[in-house]
Amino acid sequence: MNECWVWTGTRQSQGYGILYVEGEPVLAHRFAWAFENGPVPEGIQVLHHCDNPPCTRPSHLFLGTQKDNMQDMANKGRGRKSTNKTHCPQGHAYTEENIYHYKGWRSCRTCRTQVSKAQVRDCKQEYQRYLEIRASTCV
């Protein structure tokens, strides 16, 4: 891979270059990709082959989804240690069908469903207690 073109202007705390176009902030690597290739489709991210946030070299950039970005990070061993785990703490397998993705995080769908069912049960019990107390005080 060729040498990175490192952004020398303002950077975000994560190291990504930032510039302003008509007063609006734009990530430098997104601007570089769009300048070279055209507009970035809605909901798509510009990712780095080189894993260097301030790099703006178009040949080091590629398009992908948030899921692609997380998978790329895990494949390169850059993610949190939890991205290498194959099972949740309760022992359910992290399969494509059982993973819930949200804002770069993943969780076990089975566990989320069990928690939701427990919350519904607890709410029903609380409501039943409320009705019993109300009935006994209104007599």
Residue type at position 103: K
Write out pLDDT tens, residues 7-45. Answer: 999 999 889 999 999 999 999 999 999 999 999 999 999
Task: Count CB-CB contacts under 10 A for residue 83.
Answer: 15
What residues in the chain have per-residue pLDDT under 50? none
- Architecture per CATH, domain 1-83, reads as Alpha-Beta Complex (3.90)
> What's residue 117's pLDDT?
77
User: pTM for this structure?
Assistant: 0.56
> What's residue 16's pLDDT?
95
Taking alpha carbons only, the member of 42, 40, 41 closest to residue 32 is 40
C-alpha distances out from residue 127 to 28, 82, 104, 133, 136, Å: 53, 38, 36, 10, 14
